[in-house]
Amino acid sequence: MAQQPKTQQAEPQPPQERQLGGFLVREGRVPWGLLLLYAVLPLWGIYYMFSGLSAPEITPRPPVAVAPPAAPGAPAPGAPGAAPPRPGAPPTPAAPRPPDAFTKQAQEIIASVPEAERGKTRPQVSPAALAAAKQQFGSLCAICHGPQGRGDGPAGAGMTPPPMNFAAGSFVNIPEGVTFYVVKHAVMVGGKPRSAMPPFGSSLSDEQIWALVAYLRDTFAK
């Protein structure tokens, strides 16, 4: 029986090498240096494109003026949107005003009133009582204080001290209890009248005087 010839297996050939982009490359294998180059090139291109750009300049907004805070949960009195006072509600204290020509006079008036009387506040005043107080102001007060309450009445010309200007800031800063006491007892300093205004306690009741105080403040001290 004849023997079959043995098949000779080809010996593996070593991988051939060639130059690629300055790198010695073996067939079937990519050099790590080339992989690193391919990874870095896109990143470098992105950096080159955006390196000349700068962040947009942000211009700060000017500060916004803020009004002084009102009472918590409510707008300031007289501000747009502020609800009108409820009937019978206690009056809202007026905001202090800057000093004026009557500031010294107001300070002297306050000092002439006993401290126990200064903190009193007006009771509830009805519309009818306010209407009557308007008539009383016209007949008792306007001759010296003027029809607009500015201290420019004909009988007040040349008086020293001059009649109080109810529209001045100094009058707003006078407590209501002081005004009530002065209308009732006049301004007394050292037991003597300080001005030509007489006391009205003998001709007006306390209710009428409080109504007059409310009329003066609500009409002129705005």
The per-residue pLDDT for range 24-47, each reduced to its tens digit, is: 556 556 555 556 656 656 665 665
- Beta strands (DSSP E) in the chain are 17-20, 23-26, 188-189, 192-193
The secondary structure of 85-136 as a DSSP string is: PPTTPPPPPPPP----TTHHHHHHHHHHS-HHHHT-------HHHHHHHHHH
pLDDT band (50, 70, 90) for residue 55: very low
Integer Rg of the chain from CA: 47
The CATH architecture assigned to 103-219 reads Orthogonal Bundle (1.10)
| Lookup: tokens for 219 | 């009409």
The secondary structure of 100-112 as a DSSP string is: -TTHHHHHHHHHH
Q: Which whole-number Å values give the CA distances from 139 to 131, 145, 146, 221, in the listed order?
A: 13, 11, 11, 20
**Of residues 152 and 33, which shows the higher confidence score?**
152
Greatest Cα pair distance, the chain, in angstroms, is 164
> Average pLDDT in the 2-26 region?
56
What three-state secondary structure class fits 137? Answer: helix
Annotated domain spans of the chain: 17-50, 103-219
Q: Determine which of 97-111, 129-143, 200-214 has the lowest per-residue pLDDT on average.
A: 97-111
pLDDT at 91: 57
Peptide bond into 161 cis (omega under 30): yes
The percent of residues in the chain predicted with pLDDT above 70, rounded, is: 54
